[in-house]
Chain A
Amino acid sequence: MAPDLTIVTTAVALPFVAAALSPLLYRVLGERTGYAGAAVAAASFGLLATGIGSYGTVGVPWIPALDVGAQFTVDGWGLLFALLASGIGVLVFVYSAAYMHGEAGLARYYAALLAFMGSILGVALASDLVFVFLFWELTSLCSFVLIGHHTDDDESRYSARMAMVVTVGGGLCLLAGVLMLAAAARGALGGATFDLTAMIANDEAMRAALRESGLFVPALGLIVVAAAAKSAQVPLHFWLPNAMVAPTPVSAFLHSATMVKVGVYFLGRVRPLLMSPEWVSLVATLGLLTMTVGALLAVAATDTKELLAYSTASHLGLMVAGFGFDIVYGGEAGAFHLLNHALFKAPLFLVAGIVVHEAGTRKLDDLGGLWRELPVTAAVTAVAALSMAGIPPFNGFYSKELLFEAAYEVAHEAGGIAWLYPVVATLASVLTVVYSIKFLALFFGERRAPVADVHRPPIAMVAPPAVLAVAAVVVSLAPQLAVDGIVQGAVEATATGEARLEVGLPTHLSPPVAMSAVAVIGGFAAYPLRERLAAGINRGVDAPIPVRPSGWYDRIVSTAAPTSARFGSAVHDGLLRTYVGWVAAAGSLFALAGFAAAGASLGAGGVGGVRVPLAVAVVLGVATLAGVAVATASSHVSGVLTLSILGFMLAIFFILASAPDLALTQLVVETLVLLVFLLVLQRLPSFYSDVRPLAIARDAAVSILVGATAFVSVLLTIPRPDAEPTSVATYYTEQAIPGGGGSNVVNVILVDFRAFDTLGELLVVTIAAIAILVLVTMRTRGETVTEGDEEAVLDGGESP
């Protein structure tokens, strides 16, 4: 059964409509807007939930010529992601209503949050790559607004900008990759298309077409870079911890549950399309590296949200690594962990929000034993943190176990250096256990808090994480329930072949089970050593720039700004001649490069092209010499006189080129030009700038470049001597008498065939005449008004 287009479109459009209305809603509802947002999210969730099981593709064409359409594909993978986003969205809106109590700029906050949710639903369900890109960038944009919520805070602005630069930069890589895919689709699917579903359906033909055009590795690389930027993979992970300046609900929603998963989601989406040895070595390595680095940094973190941010990067690495392995378990690990991670990480963020809200600090060292005041929160945290650590039988264990199986199988098959995969995965899991316990220690152990009196949080803040924790417990106790419900569909959509996900607690000792055991035991064993571990990690982090990508970011940004300022003042110095020089030189270079790229050969019209009669050559030679004389003339008057020689030579040239009309006009016009020049020149000083050899050399170089371009263009475009007259010329010649009633073809063209052009040209001449008239009379009037009045007149003229 195909999904209903109206339902899908409504589900995606609803948040956007609500976002547009949110300023109004805020005016009516005040801080209760959060509940309205929750209702919108719930409506989208409900609409989408009706689509479970009815998978398929629906859409309406938008730009049929490019085969771009508002096309949505509902399958298990997209739906899983969309349901997660809208479901967590409901909880986050409820939570926001309590958490953001008394904050400023709430209308903007809710508008951005709603628009963000709509964009995520769009990314999840759109299967047209143009739409995917559009929604992808919209999520980055909303994230920018939300991270920079505290607009008066420098750090907030800095972080928002950093997130924007990294994720939008990644989005541009995605665009390039998408275009490459579309180009390959032209060959593979018989027509340019952006239809991702069709591409995946013909994945072998697509891969062959990509390989044939040599675009496979570039497209793969660009898409992976885009996903890495979005999903905070090493070395582009640095924006995520900085993004934690955002309000906590935003962190929970965007930076753990949804937006950062867009990259993972897209990797899962294109996995069947791009699966190859290159994919495995690139994506699996990237994922495991991020998993380890993220876990290391999380262990060293001193701040609750920082710890969670690095742990998010680490878990995203787990999912990316899962999708990286070309094995059934890998895809299962990625898809299942997407759900599990959302179920345990979002409540942890919300808990961190509760703690900072009630205890007033995010410093890990200042907090401990809070379970006495926050018993419900402590229980939620226990479930979520143990799940994060991958302790059986919590849900995080199942997906982590799948990754271990994938890594082990791949290593077992490939041998050699591939054994690093399971080793690194296990090491990262040891660290995961360490930082999970570290977070849990907020609530247990010795009682520490900067404030004596820790309040009970409002129910609206406790309920959302509790709901998620309950969901996590359900998935933990009956994993097969979740699998059958939706995860199986997601696994099928991302699998490269047949896949049937079976999960459950292990019943016998296998190598992956042993890896889990090592991770858990190692983690508990390493926990007491965490201080020393953190110190070691911090030494690495404080090392010189090369190992700190954020240092690179700072350096690039801080050099780019002054460099562009210098460049700007060099190119735009306010002198028209500089502009002309740059434009002429750049234009010529581009034209020449274009000719070279097109492989144009000078022989085409070439030396043997039009046979120019000797007389014409002589006349043109004199004209050119006259031109040179204009340039070298020592006074204005001699320059103008030589210009006239040039003009009269051209008149003769027109005669020789069988154009009597032109010759006549040129003769008279040349006379008039000479007259006007002389009239004006007698009022001007005979100023000639002092000769500066350097400037002359520079100008001459630009001129020669322009001249060379013109030279080459003429040789390339001139028609062959035996060429037929163009169809336009033939048509006009044939139609002159029957259609225009005149035998002077030129005149008939001017007044009949192309009369509209002539009208425009007359207007040009008229405007020139009026402008001259006004220029002269304005001056005589301008003498009587003061400067201030003149400006007032100008301003008045410009305003509508």
Chain B
Amino acid sequence: MSVALAVAVGGLFAVGTFLLLQRDLVRVVLGVAVVSQATFVYLIAMGGIDEGTGDLVPVLEVHGGGVPEVADPVVQALVLTAIVISLGTTALALVLSYRAYEENESMDVTEWKP
């Protein structure tokens, strides 16, 4: 079944790349967003996914007991920051393309003045 993960990551990366290669700037930004989403899934997949129940949430019982087996917290920490950063960068890319549109009066990257 890990094929499902692989298909999702592969598919999202393919879609993201396709969008990145477009002439329309907004679609390029969409592509950036899609590629970052694909990266989240990839990172989480690297941590391994088990049958999801509450036991696996990486929140320990408060101060006591042994260390239970939990989902990989490292990738979660990575993805958590990645999500916030992707928001920042997506917004930046959008505003940049908006400004670029204002300067060049076109959304088509091939029509820009050199």
* A543 lies within 8 A of chain B by Cβ: no
Find B52's partner among A606, A657, A700, A745 (CB 8 Å cutoff).
A657
**Contacts A654-B44, A687-B24, A776-B95 known; A733 to B8 CB distance under 8 Å?**
no
The distance in angstroms between the C-alpha atoms of A734 and B97, with both chains bound, is 46
Q: Interface centre among A636, A643, A733, A758, by most B CB within 10 Å?
A: A733
Chain A positions within 8 Å of B33 at CB level: 643, 673
On whether the beta carbons of A684 and B107 are closer than 8 Å, the reply is: yes
On whether the beta carbons of B45 and A631 are closer than 8 Å, the reply is: no
By secondary structure, the B interface counts as helix
On whether the beta carbons of A612 and B80 are closer than 8 Å, the reply is: no
User: Which A665-691 residues have a C-beta within 8 angstroms of B?
Assistant: 665-666, 669, 672-673, 676-677, 680-681, 683-685, 687-689
Chain B positions within 8 Å of A640 at CB level: 30
Chain B positions within 8 Å of A733 at CB level: 58, 60, 67, 70, 73
Q: In the complex, how many angstroms separate the beta carbon of B62 from the nearest chain A beta carbon?
A: 5
The distance in angstroms between the C-alpha atoms of A121 and B97, with both chains bound, is 61
* A599 lies within 8 A of chain B by Cβ: no
The proximity string for A residues 10-54 relative to B, scoring 1 for CB distances below 8 Å and 0 otherwise, is: 000000000000000000000000000000000000000000000
Q: In the complex, how many angstroms separate the beta carbon of B35 from the nearest chain A beta carbon?
A: 9
The proximity string for B residues 77-114 relative to A, scoring 1 for CB distances below 8 Å and 0 otherwise, is: 10111011111111110111111011000111110001
The distance in angstroms between the C-alpha atoms of A525 and B98, with both chains bound, is 89
**Contacts A702-B21, A710-B13 known; A639 to B30 CB distance under 8 Å?**
yes
Chain B positions within 8 Å of A627 at CB level: 11-12, 15-16, 34, 37-38
Find A636's partner among B26, B50, B90, B108 (CB 8 Å cutoff).
B26
Find B108's partner among A689, A712, A715 (CB 8 Å cutoff).
A689
Stretch at the interface among A298-306, A501-509, A574-582: A574-582
**Contacts A574-B114, A621-B4 known; A707 to B20 CB distance under 8 Å?**
no
On whether the beta carbons of A610 and B107 are closer than 8 Å, the reply is: no
* A541 lies within 8 A of chain B by Cβ: no
Q: In the complex, how many angstroms separate the beta carbon of A269 from the nearest chain B beta carbon?
A: 52
On whether the beta carbons of A677 and B94 are closer than 8 Å, the reply is: yes
User: Which residue from chain A places its CB closest to the CB of B19 in the assembled complex?
Assistant: A631
On whether the beta carbons of B81 and A750 are closer than 8 Å, the reply is: yes
* A56 lies within 8 A of chain B by Cβ: no
Chain B positions within 8 Å of A680 at CB level: 94-95, 97-98
Find B60's partner among A606, A700, A743, A772 (CB 8 Å cutoff).
A743
* A617 lies within 8 A of chain B by Cβ: yes
On whether the beta carbons of A707 and B10 are closer than 8 Å, the reply is: yes
On whether the beta carbons of B72 and A613 are closer than 8 Å, the reply is: no
Chain A positions within 8 Å of B7 at CB level: 620, 624, 711
On whether the beta carbons of A772 and B92 are closer than 8 Å, the reply is: yes
* A566 lies within 8 A of chain B by Cβ: no
Chain A positions within 8 Å of B59 at CB level: 743-745
* A379 lies within 8 A of chain B by Cβ: no
User: Which A612-646 residues have a C-beta within 8 angstroms of B?
Assistant: 612-613, 615-617, 620-621, 623-624, 627-628, 630-631, 636, 639-640, 643, 646
On whether the beta carbons of B12 and A623 are closer than 8 Å, the reply is: yes
The proximity string for A residues 234-276 relative to B, scoring 1 for CB distances below 8 Å and 0 otherwise, is: 0000000000000000000000000000000000000000000
Chain B positions within 8 Å of A736 at CB level: 60, 73
On whether the beta carbons of B84 and A765 are closer than 8 Å, the reply is: yes
On whether the beta carbons of B13 and A749 are closer than 8 Å, the reply is: no
User: Which residue from chain A places its CB closest to the CB of B1 in the assembled complex?
Assistant: A612
On whether the beta carbons of B21 and A577 are closer than 8 Å, the reply is: yes
On whether the beta carbons of A643 and B41 are closer than 8 Å, the reply is: no
Chain B positions within 8 Å of A624 at CB level: 7-8, 11-12, 15
* A457 lies within 8 A of chain B by Cβ: no
Chain B positions within 8 Å of A672 at CB level: 87
Stretch at the interface among A179-187, A490-498, A514-522, A717-725: A717-725
Chain B positions within 8 Å of A666 at CB level: 40, 83
Q: Interface centre among B5, B6, B71, by most A CB within 10 Å?
A: B6
On whether the beta carbons of A704 and B76 are closer than 8 Å, the reply is: no
On whether the beta carbons of B24 and A688 are closer than 8 Å, the reply is: yes
* A706 lies within 8 A of chain B by Cβ: yes
The distance in angstroms between the C-alpha atoms of A190 and B97, with both chains bound, is 59
Find B4's partner among A575, A620, A721 (CB 8 Å cutoff).
A620
**Contacts A620-B5, A631-B15, A666-B83 known; A612 to B30 CB distance under 8 Å?**
no
Chain A positions within 8 Å of B61 at CB level: 743
On whether the beta carbons of A630 and B101 are closer than 8 Å, the reply is: no
User: Which A567-586 residues have a C-beta within 8 angstroms of B?
Assistant: 574-577, 580-581, 584
User: Which residue from chain B places its CB closest to the CB of A608 in the assembled complex?
Assistant: B2
* A799 lies within 8 A of chain B by Cβ: no
On whether the beta carbons of A775 and B18 are closer than 8 Å, the reply is: no
* A547 lies within 8 A of chain B by Cβ: no
Chain B positions within 8 Å of A709 at CB level: 10, 13
User: Which residue from chain A places its CB closest to the CB of B60 in the assembled complex?
Assistant: A743
The distance in angstroms between the C-alpha atoms of A689 and B106, with both chains bound, is 11
The distance in angstroms between the C-alpha atoms of A232 and B14, with both chains bound, is 53
On whether the beta carbons of B52 and A613 are closer than 8 Å, the reply is: yes
Find B34's partner among A576, A607, A643, A737 (CB 8 Å cutoff).
A643
Chain A positions within 8 Å of B47 at CB level: 657, 719, 729
On whether the beta carbons of B57 and A689 are closer than 8 Å, the reply is: no
User: Which residue from chain A places its CB closest to the CB of B81 in the assembled complex?
Assistant: A761
Q: In the complex, how many angstroms separate the beta carbon of A761 from the nearest chain B beta carbon?
A: 4
User: Which residue from chain B places its CB closest to the CB of A639 in the assembled complex?
Assistant: B30
**Contacts A714-B6, A750-B81 known; A771 to B18 CB distance under 8 Å?**
no
On whether the beta carbons of B76 and A746 are closer than 8 Å, the reply is: yes
Q: In the complex, how many angstroms separate the beta carbon of B101 from the nearest chain A beta carbon?
A: 6
Q: In the complex, how many angstroms separate the beta carbon of B93 from the nearest chain A beta carbon?
A: 9
**Contacts A630-B30, A750-B77 known; A700 to B2 CB distance under 8 Å?**
no
Q: In the complex, how many angstroms separate the beta carbon of A221 from the nearest chain B beta carbon?
A: 43
On whether the beta carbons of B81 and A620 are closer than 8 Å, the reply is: no
The distance in angstroms between the C-alpha atoms of A282 and B91, with both chains bound, is 66
Find B73's partner among A621, A665, A685, A729 (CB 8 Å cutoff).
A729
The proximity string for A residues 691-702 relative to B, scoring 1 for CB distances below 8 Å and 0 otherwise, is: 000000001101
Chain B positions within 8 Å of A589 at CB level: none
On whether the beta carbons of A718 and B48 are closer than 8 Å, the reply is: yes
* A650 lies within 8 A of chain B by Cβ: yes
* A655 lies within 8 A of chain B by Cβ: yes
Q: In the complex, how many angstroms separate the beta carbon of A709 from the nearest chain B beta carbon?
A: 8
Chain A positions within 8 Å of B114 at CB level: 574
Find B14's partner among A669, A676, A704, A771 (CB 8 Å cutoff).
A704
Find A702's partner among B2, B17, B62, B86 (CB 8 Å cutoff).
B17
On whether the beta carbons of A628 and B11 are closer than 8 Å, the reply is: yes
On whether the beta carbons of B30 and A714 are closer than 8 Å, the reply is: no
On whether the beta carbons of A707 and B11 are closer than 8 Å, the reply is: yes
Chain A positions within 8 Å of B81 at CB level: 750, 757-758, 761
* A609 lies within 8 A of chain B by Cβ: yes
Chain B positions within 8 Å of A750 at CB level: 77, 80-81
User: Which residue from chain A places its CB closest to the CB of B29 in the assembled complex?
Assistant: A677
* A478 lies within 8 A of chain B by Cβ: no
Chain B positions within 8 Å of A676 at CB level: 90-91, 94
The distance in angstroms between the C-alpha atoms of A650 and B9, with both chains bound, is 12
On whether the beta carbons of B63 and A612 are closer than 8 Å, the reply is: no
**Contacts A725-B69, A750-B77, A768-B91 known; A655 to B30 CB distance under 8 Å?**
no
Q: In the complex, how many angstroms separate the beta carbon of A94 from the nearest chain B beta carbon?
A: 59
* 9 pairs of residues in contact across A and B, judged by CB atoms under 8 Å: A577-B28, A580-B20, A620-B4, A656-B52, A669-B86, A706-B13, A710-B13, A728-B74, A733-B70
Add 13 more A-B contacts to A706-B13, A711-B10 (CB < 8 A): A612-B1, A623-B8, A627-B37, A639-B27, A646-B12, A658-B71, A687-B107, A707-B13, A707-B15, A728-B74, A743-B60, A750-B77, A772-B92
By Cβ-Cβ distance, the 5 closest A-B pairs, closest first, are A707-B14, A711-B10, A768-B88, A703-B18, A745-B73
